[in-house]
Chains A and B, each alone.
Chain A
Amino acid sequence: MSERMVEIALTVNGEPVSERVDARKTLVDFLREDLSLTGSHVGCEHGVCGACTVRVDGLVVRGCLMLVAQCDGARVETIEGVSDAGEIADLQAAFTQRNALQCGFCTPGMLLTAQELLLRGGAPSREVIREHLSGNYCRCTGYHAIVDAVESVAKARAGDGQ
């Protein structure tokens, strides 16, 4: 019952996917190579940089520190699905307005990680925002603009009574 190839069935951005996968394949490589969902990026491949951030069963995880074989039965969401659904349209607009991205490599991971914090509601302090984003490296912006963007969306959403 232990095999190097594993049959899995999961949903990715709401669509059912059934595949036979290499047991050693990480979730982020599966998304990029097998499903051509290249919005999740591969940076350090050991859990430090956060570029590979995706959501599994509603929780933000490192796509490089989970095997796709572990995702049998899981609900996986990537930046493609979350942005197409309009869930983070306000956050994306705030990133653009505030110059919270330059090269864009970290941006999908930043957006998903920030959205996890924003979904808790309220208006988190800049310190809480920084702490929540501490596992996502950005080598361009110096982070201030990112924190500005997340803070403005938190305030706007709280103001809307959401």
Chain B
Amino acid sequence: MDFNKNYFEIFGLPVDYAVDLELLGDRFLDLQKQVHPDRFAAGTDHEKRLAMQWATLVNTANETLRSSLPRAIYVLGLRGVELEDNPTLPPALLMDQIELREQLESIEDGEGGLKELDAFRQRMQKTIKQVQAEFKEALDEDTEKAARLVYELQFISKLMDSANRLEEKLLDY
């Protein structure tokens, strides 16, 4: 067993930020059908252990490649770029994020409620798409810029978490 394969290689996919999700999903399921512990419920202890290790690896690889943010971080990592916990960021980016936070807070206090929240989330989805496209381009040319874009995506992802929590609050549960 080769645990040193990267996540793309596990699924036989090209190492690339752009991923064919259909194909990933198909291969994920085909692999699980071979390696899942349920397939070895009557097997030896060693088989069970192996199956558990494989299934865990396949699950982790799938989760990483399936969503764009973890995939972006992973692709950067393959190019030797490790993200920092507390990166120094351009002030403009931070200002933008503070501004967006304030927008979210005003939705919470305002009258527009769910409708405004939906509009906010749609705007954010658009921004995410833009940043992702920039990231894809920067990846081959300027990994430093690519890393900065990932930090931005992390901010937006946390913002979306807050937006989702606000929705639950507005829906009163």
Tell me whether A and B are bound partners.
no
Chain B positions within 8 Å of A, measured between CB atoms, are none
